[in-house]
Amino acid sequence: MGSGTLALSDGDDKLVKRAKKGDSRAFDLLVLKYQGRVAQLISRYLNNAAEVEDVTQEAFIKAYRALPNFRGDSAFYTWLYRIAANAAKNHLVALGRRPTSDMALDDSEVFDVPGRLKDHQSPDEVIMGQELEVLISRTIEELPVELRAALTLREFEGLSYEEIADVLECPIGTVRSRIFRAREAIDVKVAQRIQGNES
């Protein structure tokens, strides 16, 4: 991976390769990774939360069945989003409804514009997202400097482990460990916040 941007598809190729061979655990990891984004895409077509969840589930099952035909010409998530968009449109057709003009998305809208889906969140999710953003920023600021540097170079600068090792003048194993420990520190806070919200 080159420097500059963090690719959404980092690590996907290895999981997709295994999932294509029938390893459902690998596909499970892809579901866990993309379900939030896919659900948010589908919620642009459907307003009912239960329908969004059903169609999200249906989209992933369709993707699993179609996985042997995925040739890797595009990124996995691009292919997945297209399946999800089609599933949502088919659901509307089955219900005798048509997407309104503001629902009609072209590929550039769906796949390329960061943050575009924000307007279609429920108020609870907007609040939750904002609170988590603040919590994450604060936790990063509190991290020891060597952990913060490694995580920042990875997440915001998009550097590879090797590049970070060069910048920080330390072994790659140390980079790996520092990034992991930084994530653990953030996860403790985020898990508490999400569980508190659910209870």
Partner 1 sequence: MTKYDDNTTSGSASSADHESLSVLMDGEANDLDIARALRGVAESDELRAYWRRQHVVRDLMAGQSGTAISVDVSEAVRTAIASEKRRYANPIISMAVAASVTVAVVLGGQQALLFNDNPINPVTAPGEIVQVPGTGAVQASFAESPVLQSRPVTARSSVPPVDLYSNRVSYNRLADERFESLLKVHNTTASAASITPMVSRSIDPKDSQ
Burial tier of 154 (Cβ tally within 10 Å: 0-12, 13-18, 19+): buried
Tokens matching residue 164: 């970070």
Q: How far apart are CA 93 and CA 160, in angstroms?
A: 45
Q: Residue 194 to residues 55, 67, 142, 190, 198: CA-CA distances in angstroms?
A: 24, 32, 20, 6, 6
Q: Which of 20, 51, 57, 92 binds partner 1 (CB under 8 A)?
A: 57
Interface with partner 1 in residues 16-35 (CB under 8 A) = 18, 23-29, 31-33, 35
Q: Which stretch binds partner 1 (CB under 8 A): 77-85, 87-95, 102-110, 174-182?
A: 174-182
Q: Which of 87, 117, 153, 165 binds partner 1 (CB under 8 A)?
A: 117
With binding defined as CB under 8 A, does residue 173 bind partner 1?
no
With binding defined as CB under 8 A, does residue 70 bind partner 1?
no
With binding defined as CB under 8 A, does residue 186 bind partner 1?
yes
With binding defined as CB under 8 A, does residue 39 bind partner 1?
yes
Phi, psi values for residue 190, rounded to 5°: -65, -40
With binding defined as CB under 8 A, does residue 180 bind partner 1?
yes
